[in-house]
Amino acid sequence: MERPKEKFEKTEKFEDYAYVLDFLPYGHVDDKRPIHKREPLAQVIGEKYFTLLELSVKKEKNPLVMDRLYIGKGERDIVNRIKRKLKYEELTPSAKKELPFVVENIVKQREAEFVEFFNKAEPITTKMHQLELLPGIGKKTMWAILEERKKEPFKSFEDISKRVKGVQPLKLIVGRIIYELQNPSAKYRLFVQG
């Protein structure tokens, strides 16, 4: 008797909000069309999954870097449509420059979630732990974090910094997110949707 084929659906996760990295009022500089036919564009990063996107912006709207835009389903006040998903290399030089600051802002807004990462991070293999994927965390620091969280769960980034010498959680999380955006084929992903 033949078993029925299983169907695996790829579940794409969509962003509802995004932060502006760069606004291009006349589109891309290499667009050969006359200026009056070009559409204003924004390069943004999603608030929840850190998805890099390019958006078509409604005429007469001029979003600023760090503005939070609604990009979900339904009526949008500033965004016409999502044009495409971007790779890190496709970001404008300005967007790349702003990226660490915008990511830091998002991480600060979602501090409780990222503190929970420090409280619940687990081994990936017998020789590697999720905490070791954060830039600058080696075995010694990983063990210090694990020992401290056994005593009591961490409450904030400040709490982590006070209890584990030399650890700057905000910097570590931002560094890992930037790394994952720059290296989409990285073997392990903690924060950025693949």
Per-residue pLDDT of the chain (194 residues; tens, 9 = 90+): 444 444 434 455 789 999 999 999 988 877 777 777 789 999 999 999 999 999 999 988 999 999 999 999 989 999 999 999 999 999 999 999 999 999 999 999 999 999 999 999 999 999 999 999 999 999 999 999 999 999 999 999 999 999 999 999 999 999 999 999 999 988 999 999 86
Question: Which pLDDT value is given to residue 8?
Answer: 39
Question: Which pLDDT value is given to residue 32?
Answer: 77
Structural domain boundaries of the chain?
A: 17-90, 110-182
Question: Which pLDDT value is given to residue 19?
Answer: 98
Give φ, ψ of 97 to 5 degrees: -65, -40
Class of domain 110-182: mainly alpha
Specify the pTM.
Answer: 0.89
For β-strands 41-46 and 79-85, DSSP reports them as unpaired
Question: Which pLDDT value is given to residue 7?
Answer: 42
User: How is domain 17-90 classified at the architecture level of CATH?
Assistant: Beta Barrel (2.40)
